[in-house]
Every structure is written in C-alpha cells, then in structure tokens.
Amino acid sequence: MKNRKPIYIIITLVFAIGFYIYDNYLVENKAPKIEVSEKSNQESSTVDLTPTSTTNQLVKHKYYSLSYHEKYEQAEWVAYELKKEQITSQNFKRPYFIFDSKVTTKSAHYKNYSNSGYDKGHLCPAADMKFSEDAFNETFLTSNISPQNHDFNSGIWNRLEQKTRYWAQRYDKLYIITGGVLTNNLKTIGSEKVAVPNYFYKIILDNSEPEIKAIAFLIPHEESEKGLYQFVVSIDEIERLTGIDFFPALPNELENKLEQSSSYSNWSLR
C-alpha cells in the first residue's frame, strides 16, 4: 500500500486555508451588537442596534452607518459605536469633503454650503474618529453633514460632543445616533436645496453592565448658553418627531424602559 501521508497533509492544508479565508475575508461586517442578559435564564443574545430607515436607503460604512434622505439631501440619522480606547488627541490633515459613493441617489455637493452662512456640521464628529486616519477621513463624506449655524455648531453642539467623548471614556463604550429633525417647509441652501433643520438630536446608549441606560437630547438650532440637562428628552419624543424607531431589535421591556425615560440622574451633566 502506498504512503498516503502526503495526501492527508494536502487535505489538512486545504481546510486550514479555507477557514483562514472565511474568517478574514468572507465574514461580512455587521452593525454593532449589544449583549442583552435575560434575567429569567441568565442567557445572553446579541441584538442589532441599527435604527429603522424611513427612506429605505441604509448605507453602511466601515466606521458608521446612516440613513440618507434624498428629499432633504442629508442623513436622517448617523449611528456609530465609540469606545474608550478610541478617544485620542492625535491630529490628521483635514481632507476635502467628497460625495458618498454608497448613496444611490447621490449625496449633496459641498458647494451647496458656499456663501450660505452655515457650517458643514458633522453628524458623526471627526473628533470622535481620531483613532484612525481612515476613520477620520470617512467623516468627510457629504452624507455625514448638515447645515449648522456657526454659533450653534461651535457652542452648545460642540459641548454635547465633548460630553459624549467624556462619557465614552467613563462608561467604556457607547452607541450614538445623531441627526437633524427633518420636516416639511424647512429653509434650504444651495442649488440642491439642502434642508436646514430647526432641531438636532443626539441619542446615547450605554450598554455596559451592570446597568444599561440611555439619554437623549433635542436642541433647537440656535446659539444657547443653557446647561445640557435642559435639553434632555425621552427617546419616544424624538421618535414621534422623526418617525424613526431607534432600537427596534431590543427586547420590548428594555426598549420601553429606555425610550420612555427622560431622566439624567445616572449621567454626569456637569
């Protein structure tokens, strides 16, 4: 009988290479998940945190996802995960804003903002993505911006973004959803009529044990020196204004608890 050892070696190598390709190239990137513990049996399951899209134009980038609303030429929401170890102060050269090639209806041109009197306001902040130059550059897609008054953008909105990074460091990992409230009869800018929201919102989920909690902010698009706590609302209120279900895959009991609450007692708002 001939020695079959070389055949077995070849078969083993084929399987090994196959598993390597599967693990490293064929597994599709998915939306962030949350571990939810069911107290009744202490079993854990993963839940997709992607909000619903009212436009059915869901775009998944490497570092964030968004739902693009062609009527208003911007995202109705942008969502991403921010971890403690990703908070860094390293600097990268700011790139030019460019089209988002994944938006099938084409995202608005940055020139709509020229001489408009409005900033190109990031929804997923570039400062949240300084852990990687690729991540930083990805925030400069025009699908990730909305017209913002400069005093609002550099003022209370910037304070909220800084507070969010502080919370990411304190609570290890957050899931963040941001957008403008898009309604009829909004002011527009540019030839493509990019809508200027009257309100912006930010929803923050802390999915760390021992207590899962969430907080939501709804802020008028204007300069303000008020404390952030004065703009805390329930997630349910933002859902009523936008028509978006922000955590549709969470267990109903947990979803209702998180979305009905407008308490900020478990969050430091100093």
Catalytic residue set = 122
Q: DSSP per residue over 191-245, as a string?
A: TTTEEE-SEEEEEEEE--SS--EEEEEEEESS---S-GGGGEE-HHHHHHHH---
228 vs 131: CA distance, rounded Å: 26
Which own/partner pairs from 28-36 qualify as long-range (CB within 8 Å, at least 24 positions apart)?
29/60, 29/62, 31/60, 31/65, 31/79, 32/80, 32/81, 32/175, 34/175, 34/205, 34/207, 34/212, 34/250, 35/207, 36/212, 36/250, 36/251, 36/254
